[in-house]
Amino acid sequence: MGTRKVVILDRDGVINVDSDAFIKSPDEWVALPGSLEAISRLNQAGYRVAIATNQSGIGRGLFDMAALNAMHLKMHKMAAAVGGRIDAVFFCPHTAEDHCECRKPKPGMLKMVAERFEVDPSHTPVVGDAMRDLQAGAALGHPVHLVLTGKGKKTLAGGNLPEGTRVHDDLRAFALDFLSDRQD
């Protein structure tokens, strides 16, 4: 495994506003304050950014691949507008009933990211707002970080976080904390 510098982010509730009714169109995809700037800051520090996101709305028939691609195009354009770049988006289109290996909390999607970018999980943080993001990361030995946006406050209140979970107010706070730790 190389020493490539990659940060793996969940999407809904970390980069953009989440909804219990699913994010189904580019119009519903709204960046959280500071999240795209945080990606830019990570890029400037030499980190590549990959997204690993459950998108069961596809499996449920709530939206199609064209809608997902349009949402991601908007996300890429908005990130680029503030100097940020997302290197890859990995997504699981399945529902829980599909019993796939890629749907978080299973770590299949994170394995794909690690293989694609040739990274060592122990040096590759996973940032999420839900327990399943943290569980998927912890299963492979990634440092896991909980943001209190999206489902984050509820996740924190639920307790039983994987050992070593670090908590941040939002993606901006994660980027600042994570990069300042690297300066030492």
The active-site residue, picked from 12, 18, 129, 170, is 12
Residue 10: active-site member? yes
The active-site residue, picked from 10, 18, 129, 133, is 10
What is the SS3 assignment for the chain? CCCCCEEEECCECCCECCCCCCCCCHHHCCECCCHHHHHHHHHHCCCEEEEEEECHHHHCCCCCHHHHHHHHHHHHHHHHHCCCCCCEEEEECCCHHHCCCCCCCCCHHHHHHHHHHCCCHHHCCEEECCHHHHHHHHHCCCCEEEECCCCHHHHHHHCCCCCCCEEECCHHHHHHHHHHHHHC
Structure-token pair, residue 184: 């030492």
Residue 12: active-site member? yes
Residues serving a catalytic function are 10, 12
